Amino acid sequence: MPNMQYSQGFESFACSMMNKKYEAISKHNDAQSLYYKQILNSAFDGDGQNNAKFDKISFINARLAVIKQLKQDHKTTKKISDDIYNSDGEVIEDAQYVVNESPRQIKCSKPLQEAIFTLDNSKLWYLNFVYNFLYKCIDMDKVHFSNMDTESMYLAIAGSQIEGKKQGLKYVVKDQLFYDQHYKQQLPQDDCTVSEEKNLMDITTESQGENIVCLAPKCYSLYNGNEQNDDIQFHQRIG
């Protein structure tokens, strides 16, 4: 049974940190905003995923390394130093090895539902936003999925070449009635507050630019300028 007391504590912690982040953004304090963002990300890694439980790393000598290599939990062994001898040729320090083990069973006192729900919920919003909004009212011949990662979607939008980079989706709408009826349910309004724009479990436009280069998930460059190509396409990150 999930530890409900821990779950409630995690929820209050996440909401408190998010409110502090909203306040920092409202004051245009980028450093403080990034600070609270890093706290939330670290909490997800440490409390949600429990990475330390899944792998065991040991720094040991050759004799113990041989013993550990005989176990079913053994994954890898790497030598990181050689024996050290004194002037008489005697070993004064044994060679060291890094042994990585993956336990077949673990004991976890913290529930994983926060991490699992966060990941599953992000995928649910992907599907909901794409199939119940984009595909129904947006001309997808003018929209390209550049990249996607844990909770973010990178879109290349071929809209107006006259209006600036913050034009959003309004120039690629094919069903204006559907768009007007459901836009507020999918994306924040122009005149909303920071807390409304970045509401938990919701979607927002985080950044927009004229060019984007995506090499891999979490490895991209979003920049402005049109030095390399006369055809401007507008890109925005939905996350």
Question: What is the tens place of the pLDDT at every residue in 12-25?
Answer: 777 788 888 888 88
Helices (H) and strands (E) in the chain, counts: 8, 11
143 shares its domain with 159: yes
Buried b / exposed e over 148-164, threshold 16 CB at 10 Å, is bbeebbbbbbbbeeeee
Residue 6's pLDDT is 41
Instruction: List the Cα angle 147/151/156 in 5-degree steps.
Output: 30
164 shares its domain with 220: yes
- Domain-located, residue 108: no
pLDDT tier, 172 (very low <50, low <70, confident <90, very high otherwise): very high
- Domain-located, residue 172: yes
205 shares its domain with 119: yes
- Domain-located, residue 188: yes
Q: Which residue has the higher pLDDT, 31 or 111?
A: 31
9 shares its domain with 42: yes
Q: Of 62, 78, 101, which residue sits at a domain end?
A: 101
The type of residue at 118 is T
Strands (E), 69-157: 74-79, 84-85, 91-93, 97-101, 143-148, 153-157
- Domain-located, residue 107: no
- Domain-located, residue 77: yes
- Domain-located, residue 138: yes
Residue 5 has pLDDT above 50, yes or no: no
Q: What dihedral do alpha carbons 237, 221, 29, 187 form, nearest 10°?
A: -10
- Domain-located, residue 109: no
The residue segments making up the domain with residue 32 are: 4-50
Residue 48's pLDDT is 58
177 shares its domain with 70: no
Q: What dihedral do alpha carbons 190, 184, 164, 191 form, nearest 10°?
A: 0
212 shares its domain with 178: yes
Per DSSP, 140 falls in state: G
State the total domains in the chain. 3
123 shares its domain with 233: yes
pTM recorded for the entire structure: 0.55
149 shares its domain with 234: yes
135 shares its domain with 219: yes
Residue 157 has pLDDT above 70, yes or no: yes
Q: Of 101, 128, 162, which residue sits at a domain end?
A: 101
pLDDT in tens, 50-90: 555 567 788 889 999 999 889 888 888 888 888 888 888 88
38 shares its domain with 60: no
73 shares its domain with 159: no
Kindly state the tokens that stand for 55.
């792998």
Residue 176's pLDDT is 93
143 shares its domain with 222: yes
- Domain-located, residue 26: yes
Largest CA distance in the chain: 89
Inter-residue contact 173 to 138 (CB < 8 Å):
yes
Q: Of 101, 130, 165, which residue sits at a domain end?
A: 101
Instruction: List the Cα angle 103/104/110 in 5-degree steps.
Output: 75
